[in-house]
Amino acid sequence: MDKLTGRRIVLREFRQEDISGIRSWVNDAETTRFMGSAFMKPQPWEQTESYLSNILNGSAGGVNLVIADREKKRYLGQCALSMIDQTARHAELAVVLAPDSAGLGYGVEAIELLLGFAFQEMNLNRVYLRVYAANERAIRCYEKCGFRLEGRLRDHAFRDGRYEDVLEMGILRREFETSRE
Protein backbone atom coordinates (compact mmCIF):
# COMPACT_ATOMS: atom_id res chain seq x y z
CA MET A 1 0.00 0.00 0.00
CA ASP A 2 1.25 3.47 -0.84
CA LYS A 3 1.74 5.73 2.11
CA LEU A 4 -0.93 8.21 3.20
CA THR A 5 0.47 11.69 3.65
CA GLY A 6 -0.81 14.31 6.07
CA ARG A 7 0.44 17.71 7.17
CA ARG A 8 3.02 16.43 9.67
CA ILE A 9 2.87 12.65 9.36
CA VAL A 10 2.70 9.76 6.93
CA LEU A 11 1.04 6.41 7.42
CA ARG A 12 3.41 3.87 5.93
CA GLU A 13 4.07 0.14 5.88
CA PHE A 14 6.00 -1.43 8.76
CA ARG A 15 9.74 -2.03 8.44
CA GLN A 16 12.06 -4.28 10.45
CA GLU A 17 13.70 -1.24 12.05
CA ASP A 18 10.33 -0.23 13.59
CA ILE A 19 10.92 -2.79 16.33
CA SER A 20 12.72 -0.20 18.47
CA GLY A 21 9.74 2.15 18.14
CA ILE A 22 7.34 -0.60 19.17
CA ARG A 23 9.59 -1.49 22.12
CA SER A 24 9.49 2.18 23.23
CA TRP A 25 5.84 1.81 24.29
CA VAL A 26 4.99 -1.89 24.59
CA ASN A 27 6.20 -2.11 28.21
CA ASP A 28 5.50 1.51 29.17
CA ALA A 29 2.85 1.40 31.92
CA GLU A 30 1.44 4.84 31.09
CA THR A 31 1.02 4.01 27.39
CA THR A 32 -0.44 0.54 27.89
CA ARG A 33 -2.66 1.20 30.92
CA PHE A 34 -5.73 1.62 28.71
CA MET A 35 -4.89 -1.25 26.38
CA GLY A 36 -6.11 -4.84 26.44
CA SER A 37 -5.08 -7.70 28.68
CA ALA A 38 -2.18 -8.65 26.39
CA PHE A 39 -0.33 -5.64 27.84
CA MET A 40 -0.99 -6.37 31.53
CA LYS A 41 2.39 -8.08 31.89
CA PRO A 42 5.78 -7.24 30.40
CA GLN A 43 6.29 -8.29 26.81
CA PRO A 44 9.63 -9.95 26.04
CA TRP A 45 11.66 -8.92 23.00
CA GLU A 46 10.84 -12.21 21.23
CA GLN A 47 7.12 -11.57 21.48
CA THR A 48 7.55 -8.15 19.85
CA GLU A 49 9.68 -9.75 17.11
CA SER A 50 6.96 -12.31 16.45
CA TYR A 51 4.29 -9.61 16.32
CA LEU A 52 6.31 -7.54 13.84
CA SER A 53 7.13 -10.63 11.79
CA ASN A 54 3.41 -11.41 11.43
CA ILE A 55 2.77 -7.91 10.13
CA LEU A 56 5.72 -7.99 7.73
CA ASN A 57 4.82 -11.39 6.26
CA GLY A 58 1.15 -10.45 5.85
CA SER A 59 -0.32 -12.92 8.32
CA ALA A 60 -1.45 -10.33 10.90
CA GLY A 61 -4.69 -9.55 9.05
CA GLY A 62 -6.28 -6.16 8.56
CA VAL A 63 -4.53 -2.95 7.63
CA ASN A 64 -1.53 -2.19 9.86
CA LEU A 65 0.36 1.06 9.39
CA VAL A 66 3.12 2.98 11.10
CA ILE A 67 2.49 6.61 12.04
CA ALA A 68 5.75 8.29 11.04
CA ASP A 69 7.20 11.77 10.98
CA ARG A 70 6.67 13.18 7.49
CA GLU A 71 10.21 14.42 6.99
CA LYS A 72 12.37 11.79 8.68
CA LYS A 73 9.89 8.86 8.46
CA ARG A 74 10.69 8.20 12.16
CA TYR A 75 8.28 5.84 13.99
CA LEU A 76 5.80 7.79 16.15
CA GLY A 77 3.23 5.05 16.72
CA GLN A 78 0.91 2.81 14.79
CA CYS A 79 -2.70 2.40 13.74
CA ALA A 80 -4.79 -0.40 12.33
CA LEU A 81 -8.10 -1.42 10.86
CA SER A 82 -9.05 -4.94 11.93
CA MET A 83 -12.15 -7.13 12.07
CA ILE A 84 -12.86 -5.97 8.51
CA ASP A 85 -16.26 -7.16 7.28
CA GLN A 86 -16.56 -6.60 3.52
CA THR A 87 -20.25 -7.57 3.48
CA ALA A 88 -21.40 -5.20 6.23
CA ARG A 89 -18.59 -2.80 5.24
CA HIS A 90 -17.22 -2.01 8.68
CA ALA A 91 -13.95 -2.34 10.59
CA GLU A 92 -12.49 -1.72 14.02
CA LEU A 93 -9.88 1.03 14.47
CA ALA A 94 -6.95 0.98 16.89
CA VAL A 95 -4.20 3.51 17.46
CA VAL A 96 -1.24 3.83 19.82
CA LEU A 97 1.48 6.46 20.05
CA ALA A 98 4.98 6.12 21.49
CA PRO A 99 5.38 8.02 24.79
CA ASP A 100 7.37 10.89 23.26
CA SER A 101 4.73 11.37 20.53
CA ALA A 102 1.57 11.42 22.67
CA GLY A 103 -0.38 14.62 23.22
CA LEU A 104 0.99 16.40 20.14
CA GLY A 105 -1.98 15.94 17.77
CA TYR A 106 -0.47 13.06 15.81
CA GLY A 107 -3.31 10.76 16.84
CA VAL A 108 -5.99 13.03 15.38
CA GLU A 109 -4.09 13.42 12.13
CA ALA A 110 -3.43 9.67 11.85
CA ILE A 111 -7.06 8.75 12.54
CA GLU A 112 -8.33 11.24 9.98
CA LEU A 113 -5.95 9.84 7.33
CA LEU A 114 -6.94 6.27 8.19
CA LEU A 115 -10.66 7.13 8.08
CA GLY A 116 -10.20 8.73 4.67
CA PHE A 117 -8.59 5.52 3.46
CA ALA A 118 -11.28 3.35 5.08
CA PHE A 119 -14.19 5.24 3.54
CA GLN A 120 -12.74 6.32 0.19
CA GLU A 121 -10.43 3.45 -0.75
CA MET A 122 -11.87 0.47 1.11
CA ASN A 123 -15.47 1.62 0.60
CA LEU A 124 -16.41 0.99 4.24
CA ASN A 125 -19.60 2.43 5.70
CA ARG A 126 -18.72 2.38 9.41
CA VAL A 127 -15.58 2.40 11.53
CA TYR A 128 -15.85 1.65 15.24
CA LEU A 129 -13.66 1.26 18.29
CA ARG A 130 -13.80 0.40 21.96
CA VAL A 131 -12.25 2.59 24.65
CA TYR A 132 -12.12 2.45 28.43
CA ALA A 133 -14.55 4.97 29.91
CA ALA A 134 -11.75 6.39 32.07
CA ASN A 135 -9.53 7.13 29.04
CA GLU A 136 -10.74 10.72 28.73
CA ARG A 137 -7.86 11.90 26.53
CA ALA A 138 -8.53 9.21 23.93
CA ILE A 139 -12.28 9.86 24.02
CA ARG A 140 -11.68 13.58 23.32
CA CYS A 141 -9.42 12.62 20.40
CA TYR A 142 -12.03 10.27 18.93
CA GLU A 143 -14.80 12.84 19.33
CA LYS A 144 -12.60 15.43 17.61
CA CYS A 145 -12.31 12.98 14.70
CA GLY A 146 -16.11 12.64 14.50
CA PHE A 147 -16.70 9.42 16.46
CA ARG A 148 -19.95 9.24 18.40
CA LEU A 149 -20.84 7.26 21.48
CA GLU A 150 -22.87 4.22 20.42
CA GLY A 151 -23.00 2.23 23.62
CA ARG A 152 -21.61 1.44 27.04
CA LEU A 153 -20.53 -2.04 28.06
CA ARG A 154 -20.98 -1.93 31.82
CA ASP A 155 -18.27 -3.57 33.94
CA HIS A 156 -16.85 -5.06 30.75
CA ALA A 157 -13.18 -4.96 31.74
CA PHE A 158 -11.34 -5.88 34.92
CA ARG A 159 -8.33 -3.70 35.50
CA ASP A 160 -6.38 -2.52 38.55
CA GLY A 161 -8.53 -4.66 40.83
CA ARG A 162 -11.88 -3.32 39.70
CA TYR A 163 -14.43 -3.54 36.91
CA GLU A 164 -14.62 -0.74 34.39
CA ASP A 165 -17.03 0.32 31.68
CA VAL A 166 -15.95 0.20 28.05
CA LEU A 167 -17.46 2.57 25.50
CA GLU A 168 -18.23 1.65 21.91
CA MET A 169 -17.82 4.58 19.54
CA GLY A 170 -18.33 4.74 15.79
CA ILE A 171 -18.37 6.98 12.77
CA LEU A 172 -20.33 6.51 9.55
CA ARG A 173 -19.06 7.34 6.09
CA ARG A 174 -21.70 10.07 5.61
CA GLU A 175 -20.70 11.69 8.92
CA PHE A 176 -17.04 11.68 7.91
CA GLU A 177 -17.83 13.15 4.48
CA THR A 178 -20.10 15.85 5.95
CA SER A 179 -17.39 16.89 8.42
CA ARG A 180 -14.92 17.33 5.53
CA GLU A 181 -17.17 19.68 3.51
Q: Kindly state the average pLDDT of the residues 43-47.
A: 93
Pairing mode, strands 148-159 and 162-172: antiparallel
Q: Give the separation between CA 23 and CA 17, rounded to whole angstroms.
A: 11
Q: Give the separation between CA 4 and CA 109, rounded to whole angstroms.
A: 11
Q: Give the separation between CA 141 and CA 1, rounded to whole angstroms.
A: 26
pLDDT higher than threshold 60 for residue 36: yes
pLDDT higher than threshold 70 for residue 54: yes
Q: Give the separation between CA 91 and CA 64, rounded to whole angstroms.
A: 12
Rounded to the nearest integer, the mean pLDDT of the chain is 94
∠ CA(91), CA(44), CA(158), 5° rounding?
Answer: 55
Q: For 142-157, how does the pLDDT look when each residue is reduced to its tens digit (9 = 90+)?
A: 999 999 999 999 999 9
Structural domains in the chain, CATH included, are 4-180 (3.40.630.30)
Q: What burial letters (b/e) apply to 57-89, b meaning 16+ CB within 10 Å?
A: eeebeebbbbbbeeeeeebbbbbbbeebeeeeb
Q: For 1-34, how does the pLDDT look when each residue is reduced to its tens digit (9 = 90+)?
A: 558 999 999 999 999 999 999 999 999 988 998 8
Q: For 117-136, how does the pLDDT look when each residue is reduced to its tens digit (9 = 90+)?
A: 999 999 999 999 999 999 99
The structure's pTM equals 0.94
